Structure 1
Amino acid sequence: MLLKIYLKELKDCFRDRRTLLLTVFLPVIMMTGLTFFYEKMISDGEGENYKLAVNESFDQQVANAFNGVKNIELVRDADPEKVLQEGDVQAALILDANFSSKIENGEKATVTIIGDSFSQKSSNLNSIVRNILAIYEKKIISERLQANGMKPAVMEPFTIEEKEVSNQNPNASLLAMLIPMILAIAIGVGAGPAASDLFAGEKEKKTMEALLMTPVKRSTLLLSKWLTIATVGSITGIITLVVVAFEINLLTENLKKAISLGDKAVLIVIIAVLVSIVYAMFTASLLMVTSILGKTIKESQSYSTPVMMLAVFPAMILAGIGVNELSFQHFAIPIMNLFSLLKELVFGIVNYDHIVVTIASNLISMIVFFIVGRILFLKDKWVMN
């Protein structure tokens, strides 16, 4: 009987085109957009072409410093700042009058870079221009020191070398935040409509009374509906995970370079799928309670929206925590442990203690919320509208 009810509820969920759109296609589309957004964000302007506005009498020696940069076009104009304001260029570079003369005479000259910090392209161009001018400045200092019979090393008594503890790509931390957020949102968005329809929807359509009159135990009905919500959430999460993995591998460059799983790739994928299913079960219990509390689908969705928004906070908390700084509490707190464990997996770390703690924590929380839902479902006050 449990299997028949479960299959019937599952078939009803995927029969409705609107529900199918919300539970499967919408999360995939949303996460695809997020994937390409992050790919664009970490590209650092690689392959972009820029236009830099300069004075009509722009110093030729400074202009020569830009000759080796093929993606920057110098646009000469009487008023570079005006050209920038009109949006024809991404930044403007203004030199002092008699710039070369001041440099030759050892006088202090001023260089003004005008940009728009709200524009990604303008910020990228400003960074490139500063680097070019820094190199040009070192060249001038070196020439002055040599002219005075001094070695350039006098101005650079020591060099600073930076070394990372991890040999992973720096963009891996961004990916470690992106994948759990994608997964948590996808499971929540996918399971939400099914949860609202199976309990609050039944009450709103006045079919719950007829359902309870059938010779089926309430516990069996509750378990079958919970299994349906968990299945829909799991399917949505796994599909989204697979689609995003293929997109990162085939359609991106920077995000693809950030992943280096080596020989552990298959094991990490299996663990990620397992954790996704367990998290979907936890989410199903939570959404089941919110749906039982709601008298209508709209009211149920109002209760479930804050639940899905909880996925934002772990991303903010863990953004500044290194993978080697994660401790027991990060894996013991539901929702946060999804982000913590997947962060380790993205960095190629498989810690079985952390995996067990994460799964156990989600299962315990799932059982607690399921018991609460069962208590509510056994009372007519919460199942009759």
Structure 2
Amino acid sequence: MKPKFLVVFLKEFKETLRDKRSLLLLALFALMYPVMLGYMLNQQIERATRPEREGMELAVIGAAQAPNLMAQFKQKNITVQQIEPMDEDAIGELLRSRRAVAVLRIGDKFTENYQAMRPAQVELWFDSAIDNGPRQRDIDLVLREYNADIAGARLLAHGVSPVVMSPVKVQRYDTGSTAARSAGLIGAILGFLFFPAFICGLSAAVDSTAGERERRSLEVLMAQPVRPSELIIGKWLTSGLLAVIGITLELALAHAILSWLPLEEIGMVWRVTSFDLAMVCLASVPLSMLAASVHIALAMNAKSFKEAQSMASIVVLLPMIPGVVVSMMELKTAMWMYAVPMLSNQTLLREIAKGGDMGVAPFVLTFFSSLVPALAGVAFASWRLRSERYVLAV
């Protein structure tokens, strides 16, 4: 003979599968965040690799006066387009049309000032409203190198070593791993992957409690030979299972997208293995069950179905607060973070993405930090269901 809570669970789960609204929420939130994450990273990769694919085109006015500078541009794979002199309005129109990354205007007295060892002025025109930052920096780098080469040659001509202009030589060494930098860059985005735990089972939790009470079908269930705790556990498992399915699908899809994208193009890497992902999904099961127990407890304490929906919708935002506070305060990862529901899951995935040695303690703390309050929520809902005033809504 099946346990009574299992009978309730199977009954509720079959009814939920017939509810298009619950299935739509599950599919929407399981797909939305991974697709958004993949789209944003893909756009960033596109912008970073665009100069290599399309090249850079620099419009130059008076290019004949600085042949060495033009040759230096060509060595850096910057295409030089010689154009006729034009006024400021025409230059602005040329930049807005995106036919050139920037416009370099060399004055008529450039050669004269250069030979006289006076500052030879050039004008670099660009449109900061257009996303050409990396390409503009490449042009600035060529101009600085050209300026340094000329200064060094002039110092040598006067018998002075160019080394005197660099009294301190700084060598930089970055000890941070690519995985650690990647986790830091996309850590904030990864935190949102656990948000659907509080969404996917929301409709089923509210409808099977406050909704059934309003439709008077809860009285029929209470008349059956089943204890209130068994009723609540069956409904809790139904709502929690939907959240578990949603989170698992979402994490798996996000993992597939991050593994497929060429993140190395933007100096990032995703080294989370399938085993790591499975452990994260397992540690996230209590979070889904906590979300289900919170929704059920709130719905059991609400006076109507609409009130239950409103309260549950507001509470959905609360689990995001610890993660936002930690990111704003720029706190370092500490063991206490694994004892805070939702924050523990976010921290766990971020630290795994860094590729460090985690140990068992973070997984255990993450698991039980959500499981204990989840059981407390179920106990409260079971106690609430024993009240005749609640069941009869008086």
- Band the TM-score falls in, shorter-chain normalisation: 0.7 to 0.9
Counterparts of 1:117-196 in structure 2, within 5 Å, are 117=129, 119=130, 121-169=131-179, 170-182=181-193, 184-196=194-206
- CA distance in 1 between counterparts of 2:114 and 2:391 reads 83
> 1:129-186: CA deviations, max 9, x gaps?
333333333323332333333333222233323333432342232233333321x123
Post-superposition offset of 1:44: 5.4
Aligned: 1:115 with 2:127: yes
Post-superposition offset of 1:237: 0.6
Aligned AA (1:144): R
Relative to structure 1, is the Cα distance of residues 143 and 337 closer, same or farther in structure 2, using a 3 angstrom cutoff? same
Post-superposition offset of 1:223: 0.7
- CA distance in 1 between counterparts of 2:323 and 2:83 reads 45
Relative to structure 1, is the Cα distance of residues 257 and 124 closer, same or farther in structure 2, using a 3 angstrom cutoff? closer
* Native 8 Å contact 1:332 1:361 kept in 2: yes
Q: Paired residue for 1:354, among 332, 354, 362? A: 362
Indicate the residue corresponding to 2:218 in structure 1.
208
- CA distance in 1 between counterparts of 2:81 and 2:309 reads 55
- CA distance in 2 between counterparts of 1:271 and 1:43 reads 32
Indicate the residue corresponding to 1:278 in structure 2.
286
Relative to structure 1, is the Cα distance of residues 144 and 317 closer, same or farther in structure 2, using a 3 angstrom cutoff? farther
Q: Paired residue for 1:106, among 72, 93, 118? A: 118
* Native 8 Å contact 1:113 1:126 kept in 2: no
Aligned: 1:341 with 2:348: yes
Post-superposition offset of 1:353: 2.2
Aligned: 1:369 with 2:377: yes
Give the match's secondary structure for 2:102.
strand
Give the match's secondary structure for 1:258.
coil
* Native 8 Å contact 2:319 2:341 kept in 1: no
Relative to structure 1, is the Cα distance of residues 249 and 139 closer, same or farther in structure 2, using a 3 angstrom cutoff? same
Post-superposition offset of 1:343: 1.3
Aligned AA (1:148): H
Post-superposition offset of 1:277: 0.9
- CA distance in 2 between counterparts of 1:199 and 1:90 reads 63
Post-superposition offset of 1:76: 4.2
Structure whose alpha-carbon radius of gyration is higher: 2
Unaligned runs of 5+ in 2: none
Indicate the residue corresponding to 1:11 in structure 2.
14
- CA distance in 1 between counterparts of 2:58 and 2:305 reads 57
TM-score of the superposition, structure 2-length normalised? 0.82
Relative to structure 1, is the Cα distance of residues 142 and 369 closer, same or farther in structure 2, using a 3 angstrom cutoff? farther
Post-superposition offset of 1:336: 1.3
Give the match's secondary structure for 2:174.
coil
Counterparts of 1:5-44 in structure 2, within 5 Å, are 5-41=8-44
- CA distance in 1 between counterparts of 2:160 and 2:257 reads 56
> 1:44-102: CA deviations, max 9, x gaps?
52134376564543555444333245476758472222333x44357534446244544
Indicate the residue corresponding to 1:303 in structure 2.
311
Relative to structure 1, is the Cα distance of residues 378 and 95 closer, same or farther in structure 2, using a 3 angstrom cutoff? farther
Q: Paired residue for 1:329, among 313, 326, 336? A: 336
* Native 8 Å contact 1:195 1:284 kept in 2: yes
Identical amino acids, percent of aligned pairs: 20
> 1:170-203: CA deviations, max 9, x gaps?
2232233333321x12322312222222223323
Post-superposition offset of 1:12: 1.8
Task: Choose 220-229 or 187-196, whichever is displaced more.
Answer: 187-196
Relative to structure 1, is the Cα distance of residues 112 and 356 closer, same or farther in structure 2, using a 3 angstrom cutoff? same
Relative to structure 1, is the Cα distance of residues 222 and 168 closer, same or farther in structure 2, using a 3 angstrom cutoff? same
* Native 8 Å contact 1:50 1:89 kept in 2: no
- CA distance in 1 between counterparts of 2:327 and 2:99 reads 34
Aligned: 1:227 with 2:234: no
Give the match's secondary structure for 1:309.
coil
Relative to structure 1, is the Cα distance of residues 19 and 154 closer, same or farther in structure 2, using a 3 angstrom cutoff? same
- CA distance in 2 between counterparts of 1:19 and 1:361 reads 27
TM-score of the superposition, structure 1-length normalised? 0.84
Aligned AA (1:181): F
- CA distance in 2 between counterparts of 1:66 and 1:363 reads 62
* Native 8 Å contact 1:187 1:233 kept in 2: yes
Aligned length: 377
Post-superposition offset of 1:342: 1.3
Post-superposition offset of 1:299: 3.4
Post-superposition offset of 1:212: 2.5
Indicate the residue corresponding to 2:269 in structure 1.
258
Give the match's secondary structure for 1:45.
helix
* Native 8 Å contact 1:95 1:111 kept in 2: yes
* Native 8 Å contact 2:263 2:270 kept in 1: no
Q: Paired residue for 2:71, among 64, 69, 73? A: 64
Give the match's secondary structure for 1:46.
helix
Give the match's secondary structure for 1:158.
coil
> 1:261-292: CA deviations, max 9, x gaps?
5xxx3542232111121211122222222333
Post-superposition offset of 1:222: 0.7
- CA distance in 1 between counterparts of 2:113 and 2:388 reads 88
Give the match's secondary structure for 1:248.
helix
Relative to structure 1, is the Cα distance of residues 296 and 260 closer, same or farther in structure 2, using a 3 angstrom cutoff? same
